[in-house]
Amino acid sequence: MPRDECKWFPTCPMNRYLRMGILDRRWTDYYCHGHWLECVRYDMEERGEDHPDWMLPDGSLDENLRGK
Ligand code: SF4
């Protein structure tokens, strides 16, 4: 059965930020629910590369999320 959600979503900080109401839902709607293969976070997870929690799916850093 095909997945409709990224396998990292339950533990991804983007999920946490979404629930906190500090992340635009468009990020998770697009990446986490259909296009995770385009997500830089997903890619780095797969390769075991460190990346900060406040790095958005497109690879940009959102300093407003830092430490949240
Ligand atoms: S931000 Fe990327 S790694 Fe995290 S759940 Fe969404 S698609 Fe997966």
Domain count, the chain: 1
- Whether residue 2 is predicted with pLDDT greater than 80 in this model: the reply is no
Output phi, psi for 11, to 5 deg. Answer: -110, 0
User: 30 C-alpha to center of ligand 1: Å?
Assistant: 10
- Contact 14 CB / ligand 1 (< 6 Å): yes
- Contact 55 CB / ligand 1 (< 6 Å): no
In ligand 1, the atom with minimum distance to the C-alpha of 9 is 5
- Contact 42 CB / ligand 1 (< 6 Å): yes
Tell me whether residue 18 is in a domain.
Answer: yes
Q: What's the pLDDT tens digit per position in 14-23?
A: 999 999 999 9
Tell me whether residue 4 is in a domain.
Answer: no
Residues of the domain holding 49: 13-58
- Say whether 13 sits in a helix, a strand or coil: helix
Tell me whether residue 40 is in a domain.
Answer: yes
pTM of the model: 0.94
The Cα 9–Cα 57 span in angstroms is 12
- How does residue 3 score in pLDDT terms, banded at 50, 70 and 90? confident
Tell me whether residue 5 is in a domain.
Answer: no
Question: What's the confidence (pLDDT) of residue 40?
Answer: 98
Tally Cβ neighbours within 10 Å of residue 14.
23
